[in-house]
Amino acid sequence: MTDKQAGGDVRLSGISKTYGSFTAVHPLDLTVPQGSFFALLGASGCGKTTTLRMIAGLEEPTTGTVRLGDRDVTALPPHKRPVNTVFQSYALFPHLNIYENIAFGLRRRGIKSVKKQVDDMLELVQLGDFAQRKPHQLSGGQQQRVAVARALINHPQVLLLDEPLGALDLKLRRQMQLELKRIQTEVGITFVHVTHDQEEAMTMADTVAVMNGGRVEQLGAPAELYENPRTTFVANFLGTSNLLEAEVVRNTDGEVVVTVGGGKLRLPAGRCPDATATGGKVLVGIRPEKISLAPAADVDAVPAGRNSVTGRILDSSFIGVSTQYVVESPAGKGLEVYAQNVEHRAGLEPGAEVVLHWNPEHTFGLDAAQAIDAGVETVGETP
């Protein structure tokens, strides 16, 4: 199976899509390595679905080319591309039973003996007992699995998934995420997955491309994107970031020192944008779970060499595994801190004066020319 698909990278070069005066996708270069699980992540309207549909051939690119391996498929209609799609609403054929839905692609290619393959596929998605049912007699999760089976049975070079888990409830989503990941590992086909759920993208994909306004903001492994966001959008859209406006005081010996609200913070020069000279503005970021919280009275107990700022707890919410604090500080308003609930700690109630401290290595710097809250509100939308 893998021999047949050798060199099956998806290569998009200079691909773009405009509708009248609206540009859905700006010229884009993207390579999806063969066999990888690739996620296109972004809020609705960011061009991720359009990009996917251009790979499927359902949308004609305004400029650029789509290549599968070394074959240019830009001009091919969908039915001639070795690519299959799992649609957002599944788009199962309501007049055909599950068996015939899954056999559809094979039959269209003139394959006569489909029984063995369909049975194998039904087994893979654990729906053997449902072969004779009609799609509307199945639950959402089962329909979703049929949609995956119907696409996978054709052994496409690339499987495209358009928000396939969007209609499922949270528990089922988690289950299907693992299921899809298992199937992908089992069949070894390239998956391109479109989603607006950052958690889904991070748990499933090997590589995530974060899209915003028709452009790819950043591309990389989930941990890489999370730890080293290069734009405020990525910093805010993937998880939560505390971004502070800072001024550079010194940039020497691979270390940058900045002032924030009167205090000094240090961060590695390698995690800062290139053009940071003394006196320049920079946005300093720190993830909420990297911060430790201590009562102001214990300030002397903070180990030397750590970044620290003082503040006052505005609000705290207990959510089981952790407690989330909102802290007001001269460095910035509404700083978020997530503390693991390992043991109960006194003196961390709303109104308490506290000190926030963290390892300087965990601090990242961003170009101050961007909107500090890019990608913030869209996080609130994701279920």
Partner 1 sequence: MTVTEAPPTSPAPARPPVHRTSVRRRLVPYWLLLPGVLWLVVFFVLPLVYQASTSVQTGSLEQGFEVTWHFATYWDALTEYYPQFLRSLLYAGTATALCLLLGYPLAYLIAFKAGRWRNLLLVLVIAPFFTSFLIRTLAWKTILADGGPVVEVLNTVGVLDVTSWLGMTAGDRVLATPLAVVTGLTYNFLPFMILPLYTSLERIDPRLHEAAGDLYAKPSTTFRKVTFPLSMPGVVSGTLLTFIPASGDYVNAQLLGSTDTRMIGNVIQSQFLRVLDYPTAAALSFILMAVVLITVTVYIRRAGTEDLV
Q: What is the DSSP letter of 269?
A: G
Residue ranges in contact with partner 1 by CB under 8 A: 56-58, 77-80, 83-85, 87, 89, 91-95, 104-105, 108-109, 134, 150-151, 154
Three-state secondary structure string covering 143-203: HHHHHHHHHHCCCCCEEEEECCCCCCCHHHHHHHHHHHHHHHHHHCCEEEEEECCHHHHHH
Q: In whole angstroms, what is the distance from residue 86 CA to residue 282 CA?
A: 43
Q: Name the residue nearer to partner 1 (CB basis): 145 or 362.
A: 145
Closer residue to partner 1 (CB): 101 or 218: 101
Q: Pick between residue 105 and residue 288 the one whose CB is nearest to partner 1.
A: 105
- Is the separation of the CB atoms in 327 and 317 below 8 Å? no
Maximum Cα–Cα distance across the chain: 78
**At closest approach, how far in Å is the CB of 38 from partner 1?**
18
Helix (H) / strand (E) containing 94:
none
User: What 8-state DSSP symbol labels residue 314?
Assistant: E
Task: Choose between 55 and 235: whose C-beta lies nearer to partner 1.
Answer: 55
Residues found in the chain:
383
Provide, rounded to whole angstroms, the least separation between the CB of residue 347 and partner 1.
Answer: 57
61, 54 Cβ separation under 8 angstroms: yes
Question: CA 222 to CA 177: how far, in whole Å?
Answer: 15
CB of 91 to partner 1, least distance (A): 4
Looking at the Cβ atoms of 109 and 116, the one nearer to partner 1 is 109
Residue 103 CA to residue 117 CA, distance in Å, equals 8
Q: Residues 294, 316, 352, 349: what is their CA dihedral angle, to the nearest 10 degrees?
A: -90
Write down the least CB distance from residue 9 to partner 1, Å.
Answer: 20
d(CA 48, CA 59) in angstroms, rounded, equals 12
Kindly state the smallest distance separating residue 161's Cβ from partner 1, in Å.
12
Position 328, amino acid: E
Q: Closest approach of Cβ 78 to partner 1, in Å?
A: 4
Residue that has been written with the tokens 């298992």 in this structure: 182
**Contact (CB, 8 A) for 135 and 92:** yes
Amino acid symbol at 287: R
Min dist CB 104 to partner 1, Å, is: 5
Between 84 and 310, name the residue whose CB sits nearer to partner 1: 84
* Nearest residue (CB) to partner 1, 108 versus 182: 108
Least separation in angstroms between residue 257's CB and partner 1 is 56
Pick the closer one to partner 1 by CB: 95 or 171. 95
